[in-house]
Structure 1
Amino acid sequence: MGITIQNITGNTAMVIWPKMASCADSFYSVMYHPNWNSMLSSYSRKSFQKEERVPTSRSSFVVENLTPLTTYILCVTCQSANPSSDQCRTFHTLEQDPASASNTKKELALGIWLTSSVLLLIIAGILLYGCLHLLCRKRQEQQEGQNRTSAGSTGETWTKSTAQTSEEFGRQSQLIQDTEGKNRGGIQLATIIANPLTCKKPIMQTSKSQEPVPVPGQYSAMN
């Protein structure tokens, strides 16, 4: 069939094949498998590890993700048919290139860095949310405490004002009573001075059972 394999590296290889008239209305199947053993394996499609379908408009394909320093068998058939020996070729991948190895390491390091960055961002977001939640809670508690203190101060002020008002009212009432008492005492004193006879006590009449006291003049006349 004239299959050729070119540009073999540690991870890739290019396979080229001539176009087949029988595949004009179908597709090409590119099948490959590592560590092929012709004594134990048959040319059945089930024996191949990987299979790629290629449009009939193409006659080449780049196989990727190969293992370095590994022997592969590769077959090209028409429309997923079981391959024959003339449709297959074996090739051996090379040692991994230093540039490719460094790129792989860079990609691995980049992936680890991205994963770590995402995890750190998630942790930072959780911590920030927790801090903001605690801060809001503390502010709410402080505001409630201030409101309670203000309410208590207002109640005490109102109580003190009420007590002061009651005390002042009592003082004013006592002052008015004292003033009225003084005025009444002055009026009574003035009345007594103006009418001295009013302060004398009236003579109480004796009981009819008591005998009248004889007057000395009357007793002489009787004798």
Structure 2
Amino acid sequence: MIRYVLMLALLLPLSAQAGPWPREVGQVFLSLSGERNRAGASYASAYGEYGLTPRTTLGVELGRTTGETTAILWWQRALDDGQGVHRIALQSGVGAVRRGDDLLPLAQGALSWGRGFDRWGGGWMTAQVLARMTGGAPDPRGPDMPSLAASFLTAKRVVKADLTLGLRPRDGLMVINSLWLEDRQDEGFAARLAPSLVFDAPGPIKIELGVVQPLTGRAEQAVRLGTWLEF
């Protein structure tokens, strides 16, 4: 475990998931994160959000894994009026995937819900359903690209559902439990559980350390390390 964490620290630090709460106007959120599984496959990403209007958030995601680089620009709009406990948002995005010499178009759409609560020191719950389509290209897998490593690559069609429960048991600490459900055109259905701890670091930085435990599907255990910055 320690060896994997040290290796991750050398990476450009899975991307943060946008929740349904809009960013305040002019506010910026940045995340650098990485994931590495027991098969040696790794994924590194940079993620950012910017509050454009009181109800609109812009975001960008950059991801890198063996054989693939992805860039996505997305727009998210709050559908609720900001009253009550429930928050709902609609997201759409476009981007591109670089696989070897191929540059493929990408489009995605998502619907998310969330609410906060005061029990157990305060926390939140979110649910998001996301559909993504990528332009076709030759299958990059071969003798040197086993299926487990290829599971990090973007499928032509993928539908994801993410369920998250976050708690703040004390100041400076968040406990986050996520269930990731994914149906990929190339690999079929998979489910993973991703618990993590988020600690305050000096200044505005937070550190996330977690694991990914496969429940179904072809996947390996993995560790995650990330940094959050908000200003």
- The alignment's TM-score, normalised by the length of structure 1, stands at 0.19
- Structure with greater proportional strand content: 2
- Structure with greater proportional helix content: 1
Return the index of the structure with the highest Cα Rg: 1
